[in-house]
């Protein structure tokens, strides 16, 4: 079954948000238009406690976007973003959500970050997304959302490891860093994934 996975289309990642992805809001109409082409639609949502260890504000003397080691894992220190029950954590107001069957929240453990919609960055804890998709007989996952080279990429990478066929819909995502996204796209293709555009998806 063909499944759309919408990753983190949240206010804090949109222009004007605390961790804004350039042109992030431009993907919303594309995602809305795509939804009729899919039998199953799910979403991932960053859902951080206020004192999350990935926030620069949790490390006195450290600056945003510095890289530290956190429990043996390299960690970028982000601006505070997508804090539970704040407007920044909410989905963009124009995103059509009626067809989203389930939302999988990530980054809820304050001690470890979670880019992927499937696992935390240490692969210690599953969100339950794999089991849900397999029970629904999903086979081919199409990824869109924000940010392209971070949460979308790591979700797609984990999906390949879990045995799904994987496509990233390039015009339904935007990166923080274009150069980094180009590298990630090459890596994903080497692993067996594909990068396509929305008009390549058949109804």
Show which residues are catalytic: 8, 106, 151
Q: In the chain, what is the straight-line distance between the N-terminal and C-terminal CA atoms, in Å?
A: 12
In our burial notation (b when 16+ CB lie closer than 10 A, e otherwise), range 9-41 reads: bbbbbbeebbbbbeebbebbeebeebbeebebb
* Residues 1, 85: Cα–Cα separation, whole Å: 33
Cβ atoms of 113 and 120 closer than 8 Å: yes
Q: Quick one: residue 184, left, alpha or beta (phi over 0 = left, psi -120 to 50 = alpha)?
A: alpha
73-76 vs 67-70, strand pairing mode: antiparallel
* Residues 1, 133: Cα–Cα separation, whole Å: 9
Which residues, other chains included, contact 33 with Cβ-Cβ below 8 Å and sequence gap of 6+? Answer: 198
Structure tokens at 173: 């995502």
Instruction: Give SS3 for 75.
Output: strand
């Amino acid at each position: 079954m063909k499944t759309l996975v919408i990753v983190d289309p949240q206010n804090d990642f949109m222009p004007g948000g605390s961790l804004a992805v350039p042109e992030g809001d431009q993907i919303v109409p594309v995602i809305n238009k795509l939804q009729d082409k899919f039998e199953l639609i799910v979403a991932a949502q960053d859902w951080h406690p206020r004192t999350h260890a990935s926030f620069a504000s949790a490390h006195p003397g450290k600056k945003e976007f510095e890289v530290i080691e956190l429990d043996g894992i390299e960690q970028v220190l982000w601006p505070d973003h997508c804090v539970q029950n704040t407007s920044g954590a909410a989905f963009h107001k124009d995103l059509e959500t009626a067809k989203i069957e389930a939302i999988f929240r990530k980054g809820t453990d304050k001690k470890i970050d979670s880019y992927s919609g499937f696992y935390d960055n240490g692969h210690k804890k599953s969100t339950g997304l794999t089991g849900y998709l397999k029970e629904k007989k999903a086979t081919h996952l199409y990824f869109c959302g924000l940010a392209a080279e971070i949460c979308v990429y790591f979700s797609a990478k984990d999906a390949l490891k879990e045995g799904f066929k994987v496509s990233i819909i390039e015009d339904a995502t935007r990166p923080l860093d274009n150069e980094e996204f180009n590298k990630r796209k090459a890596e994903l293709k080497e692993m067996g994934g594909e990068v396509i555009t929305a008009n390549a998806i058949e109804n």
